[in-house]
Structure 1
Amino acid sequence: MSTAVSTDNITPLQVAKRLEKFKTTIFTQMSMLAIKHGAINLGQGFPNFDGPDFVKEAAIQAIRDGNNQYARGYGVPDLNIAPFYDSYEATLSMAGAKVKGITLRPPDFALPIEELKSTISKNTRAILLNTPHNPTGKMFTPEELNTIASLCIENDVLVFSDEVYDKLAFDMEHISIASLPGMFERTVTMNSLGKTFSLTGWKIGWAIAPPHLTWGARQAHAFLTFATSNPMQWAAAVALRAPDSYYTELKRDYMAKRSILVEGLKAVGFKVFPSSGTYFVVVDHTPFGHENDIAFCEYLVKEVGVVAIPTSVFYLNPEEGKNLVRFTFCKDEGTLRAAVDRMKEKLRK
């Protein structure tokens, strides 16, 4: 059946006011510039190498086994138990939430405890926590996590904990806040296949929470996407059974890549801040004399041929991030060395 629609007097499409300020993401903008200028993309956090064969083969086998129709809305059986990132504000705005940010500042991006205490009250519904943290690479310490936990228990606050980089914890042990006393029953822990297994395009993730919280998540999921790619879920279940040796090698490889990038950035003249987890490094670009992070990143891609991400997009107050940019080291070693060489040649002070 077809329907004829008159185009007379149609007004431009309207965007809900709460979403008007959200434009094309900085990742799309910088990746397009990278292609235009032939730049090495150390901006967007996707590996330029493929994921492990045993996971890809599991997806292929799932397709051959006929797992090609709708999956259950809350996940295939084999996967059951078992994403401040800039999408947070947009998704919270879609939900009509009132957002209050707690700013993490260099050099160590420590949690400002007193600011947190003054912000949380009996009216606070939930805290969104990300550790290891994108974009800074910070990992929250046991002391910081215990402080957050005690405030949540005291004020009956939920926690949404984004832990997609939990296997990329380099300098300290990752602690899930849900593992702390009194926290499992009030925490939704979110994770993803993409980062740990270099399969970002699969878009497979999961949430772990007690039944009274998963019920709401399932209802929302059912009316947004209904189901996630069926064969990819079966492959994800295989991936999560990877032996410890896989994660040991993963960490070793990423620590080598981190060293190449960090030492290279220091040699170029950046002030480099510590990154204990994720595959990101934040640096201070001000030695190079540009007005702000956006101006510097535009210069870097157009004149130097390297892409970074301006960190002001990660702040509720962009002024807080204007001196910082983020690089990623989820690239092969040759690409990282080539990017450093370009910066040494054209940027070094």
Structure 2
Amino acid sequence: MRELSSRTSKFTESVIRQMTRIANECDAINLSQGFPDFDPPKAILDRLAEVAYTGPHQYQVCAGAKAFRDAVAKKFEHFSGMKIEPESEIVVTCGSTEAMMASLTSVINPGDKVVIFSPFYENYGADTILSGAEPIYVPLVPPDFCFDKEALENAFKQGAKAMILCNPSNPCGKVFTREELEFIAELAIQYDAYVVTDEVYEHIVYAPHKHIYLNTLPGMRERTIVCNSLSKTYSITGWRLGYVIACPRIIDRVKKVHDFLTVGASAPLQIAAVTGLEFDDDYYKELQEHYTHMKEIFVGGLRKLGYRLTEPQGSYFVMVDVNEFGVKDDYKFCEWMIKNVGVAAVPGSSFFREKVDNLVRFHFAKKDETLKEALKRLSTLREKALAAKNVDWK
């Protein structure tokens, strides 16, 4: 038999999904894969029930249901101040995962280079490789996860055609400042590059930090490709509804790629989700308060237990330093923790290009009782880890 694809030969199973699988096998609390254990807003569910009987149940136009695109455009203008044309500047996708893939393949040629901050969500490296490009990784340095301006410019100097920017950042919870975004914008303009943004956590930001839309900065509307999703904002990760916002020239290409990738996102779910997109400001205020509450429970609880961590500025992830346990293999440590402590996390090494074995990522998008039980179990971690003998993660 002839060889399989060399481009995908080094792909492994998603580490996040691996941790979820092991957690399910061990009946552990899953704080690895970032999905909530609470329901979406009732208004969206009620609308979904109606749509189940009224439709549509057939294909929508490739770019997405008009009502959905209109609602996205209105919402984006409300929060960013930028008016978007729904007919020519939006494509609805099967989640932000497809949005990112369709965007990269629309602007990247084989052999091009793409700048990615490290740590990074594991899909970005794979998406870059699938696009035929070469990733250039620039470190975000713990514990504050700031970047060195000279290092970032050196990456652009290597001829990068695009940059992927996750803001707020998964996995480290960093929210980029206006000054940082302005510097990125200057480099993109100077070196004639696109910036593909992942903004799925735009509404999960903790005071005093603010989310700033890169495409609203001077000169960036034509260079920014916004990838977003409804998954996190409305707790509907399984609906797989995302979208791309970009200038008409780019969207025209993204739409064609999207057509050949998936034809279109779920028709009935798009119509049901319009209800969420039309929520007023009170919903987003309550959402921020809800996540701030969960962060205070879990991150505050970890601090009381004496664990070293980086306070997340946005998203619902927290990176915890496990160096005190002498961890040399964080993957095996996380596997051991699932089986012996009953809580699942993601090994930090799966997010870093650099050698990092001392960090693990937890997520806290869970009910109060789930988080409190997780903290109860994690209160035994130090004793169990320090007492562990003949383990293969030391």
Normalised TM-score (structure 2): 0.83
Q: Deviations over 1:63-103 (max 9, x none)?
A: 32220001211110012252321011111111101110111
Contact kept in structure 2, 1:268 and 1:347, CA below 8 Å: no
Percent identical among aligned pairs is 39
Moved more, 244-253 or 119-128: 119-128
Give 1:27 shift. 1.8
Which residue number corresponds to residue 274 of structure 1?
311
Given residue 291 of structure 1, which amino acid in structure 2 is its aligned partner? K
1:319-338 equivalences in 2 (<5 Å): 319=355, 321-338=356-373
Give the corresponding residue for 2:108: none
Instruction: Name the counterpart of 2:380.
Output: 345
Matched, 1:307 2:296: no
Q: Take 1:251 and 1:164, find their aligned partners in 2: how far apart are those partners?
A: 14
Other-structure match for 2:126: 90
Q: Determine the structure 1 residue equivalent to 2:138.
A: 102
Report the number of matched residues.
336
Contact 2:346 2:362 in 1 (8 A): yes
Question: Are residue 29 (structure 1) and residue 18 (structure 2) matched?
Answer: yes
Distance in 2 separating the partners of 1:293 and 1:345: 18
Q: In the TM superposition, what is the alpha-carbon distance from 1:44 to its structure 2 partner?
A: 0.7
Q: Distance in 1 between matches of 2:182 and 2:271?
A: 35
Cα distance in 2 for partners of 1:109, 1:15 equals: 38
> CA deviation digits over 1:89-148, x for unaligned, max 9?
111111101110111121100122110011103822111100000000000111100000
Task: Give the CA deviation at 1:328.
Answer: 0.3
Give the distance between the partners of 2:171 and 2:9, measured in 1 at CA: 24
Which piece of structure 1 moves more, 339-348 or 198-207?
339-348
Moved more, 98-107 or 80-89: 80-89
What is the distance in 1 between the residues matched to 2:3 and 2:139?
A: 32
Are the aligned partners of 1:170 and 1:255 in contact in 2 as well (CA < 8 Å)? yes
Q: Distance in 1 between matches of 2:230 and 2:157?
A: 34
Say whether 1:249 aligns with 2:249: no
Within-5 A mapping of 1:1-349? 11=1, 14-80=3-69, 82=72, 83=96, 84-121=120-157, 123-171=159-207, 172-317=209-354, 319=355, 321-348=356-383
Larger CA deviation: 159-168 vs 114-123: 114-123
* Conservation of the 8 A alpha-carbon contact between 2:327 and 2:357: no
Counterpart of 1:281 in 2: which secondary structure? Answer: strand
AA of the residue aligned to 1:80: R
Shift of residue 202, structure 1, vs aligned partner: 0.3
SS of 2:314's equivalent? coil
**Whole-Å Cα distance in 2 between the matches of residues 227 and 283 of structure 1?**
39
- What's the secondary structure of 2:376's corresponding residue? helix
CA contact (8 A) 1:39 1:306 kept: yes
Alignment partners' CA distance in 2, 1:36 and 1:330: 21
Offset of 1:186 from its aligned partner?
0.9
- The answer on whether the counterparts of 1:194 and 1:201 sit within 8 Å (CA) in structure 2 is yes
Instruction: For residue 361 of structure 2, give the secondary structure of its aligned residue in structure 1.
Output: strand
Partner of 1:136, secondary structure, is: coil
Q: 1:80 aligns to what SS in structure 2?
A: helix
Letter in 1 for 2:143: P
Tell me which amino acid in the other structure corresponds to 1:325.
V
- Look up the equivalent residue of 2:180 and give its one-letter code: E
Find the aligned partners of 2:330 and 2:306 in 1 and give their Cα distance.
16
Q: Which amino acid aligns with 1:67?
A: P
Give the RMSD, CA atoms, in angstroms.
1.5
1:41–1:308 CA contact under 8 A, matched in 2? yes
Note the residue ranges of structure 2 that are not aligned, 5 or more in a row. Answer: 73-95, 97-119, 387-394
1:345–1:315 Cα change, 3 Å:
closer
SS at match of 1:135: coil
Give 3-state SS (helix, strand or coil) of 2:134's partner.
Answer: coil
Provide the C-alpha distance between the structure 1 equivalents of 2:272 and 2:357, rounded to a whole number of angstroms.
41
Q: Give the distance between the partners of 2:195 and 2:16, measured in 1 at CA.
A: 27
- Quote the Cα distance in structure 2 between the aligned partners of 1:80 and 1:137: 28
CA distance in 2, matches of 1:331, 1:127: 32
Check whether the contact 1:101–1:316 (CA below 8 A) recurs between aligned residues. yes
1:216-262, CA deviations, whole angstroms, 9 ceiling, x for partnerless residues? 11111010001100011112222111111111111111111111111
